[in-house]
């Protein structure tokens, strides 16, 4: 119990610090746009963009990932972009780098640093039935280098494509240039994946 109380005190201190730090940004201005009243666009399309996630790139910039409807494919796809500390696009172009060539629907991207200025990204891929419900959801991952190269093939790697649905992945760095990925599984069974 003493250990739990110590952890709770540490969490309370972290929350207090975070709230204090944000409270000091009342006079903040936009850093990347030439016009302080405008934000720097990540993707400038008329399409619905959602499920945004971002991480620092280790050089003062950031890597951001999101889902967007691809009108050509008729499905949702995952895109990524890296921006420098000054807001310049380092890779991903004006509308982002598509992280897989898969034609299945993709959603719920999550990412962590790969420790070398790139990222490891995980997401759901799924089909849609006649009632527009997602079915056959599976979990995939892709590693993108600091220069925007997809290292794990054109479609990434399969993390779990067992029967039933595997979805809503979460990811953390393993501290050795890799990642640990967990997900929900409708089959409610134990599964271990080792590379």
**Residue 15: predicted pLDDT:** 33
Name the DSSP letter for residue 3: H
d(CA 111, CA 158) in angstroms, rounded, equals 16
CA separation for the pair 142, 122 (Å, rounded): 7
Phi/psi for 62 (5° steps) reads -150, 160
Count how many residues are written for the chain: 195
Percent of the chain exceeding pLDDT 90 equals: 48
d(CA 85, CA 88): 7
Q: Radius of gyration over alpha carbons of the chain, in Å?
A: 19
How open is the CA angle 137-141-142, to the nearest 5 degrees? 140
Instruction: Specify the pLDDT at position 24.
Output: 38
Nearest CA to 80 among 62, 100, 65?
Answer: 65
47 phi/psi in degrees, rounded to 5: -85, 155
Residues of the chain with pLDDT under 50: 1-25, 190-191, 193, 195
Global pTM reads 0.77
The long-range contacts involving 87-92, CB below 8 angstroms and separated by at least 24 positions, are: 87/31, 87/32, 87/33, 87/40, 90/61, 90/146, 90/147, 90/148, 91/147, 91/148, 92/148
């Amino acid at each position: 119990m003493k250990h739990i109380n110590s952890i709770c005190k540490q969490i309370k201190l972290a929350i207090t610090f975070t709230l204090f730090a944000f409270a000091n940004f009342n006079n903040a201005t936009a850093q990347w746009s030439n016009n302080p009243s405008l934000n720097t666009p990540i993707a400038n399309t008329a399409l619905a963009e959602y499920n945004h996630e971002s991480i620092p790139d280790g050089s003062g910039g950031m890597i951001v990932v999101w889902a967007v409807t691809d009108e050509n494919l008729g499905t949702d796809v995952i895109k990524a972009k890296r921006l420098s500390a000054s807001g310049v696009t380092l890779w991903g172009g004006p509308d982002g780098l598509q992280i897989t060539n898969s034609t299945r629907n993709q959603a719920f991207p999550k990412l962590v640093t790969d420790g070398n200025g790139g990222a490891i990204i995980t997401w759901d891929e799924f089909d849609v039935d006649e009632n527009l419900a997602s079915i056959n959801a599976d979990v995939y991952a892709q590693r993108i280098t600091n220069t925007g190269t997809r290292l794990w093939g054109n479609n990434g790697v399969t993390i779990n494509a067992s029967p039933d649905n595997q979805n809503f992945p979460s990811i953390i760095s393993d501290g050795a240039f890799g990642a640990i990925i967990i997900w929900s599984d409708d089959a409610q069974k134990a599964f271990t994946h080792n590379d």
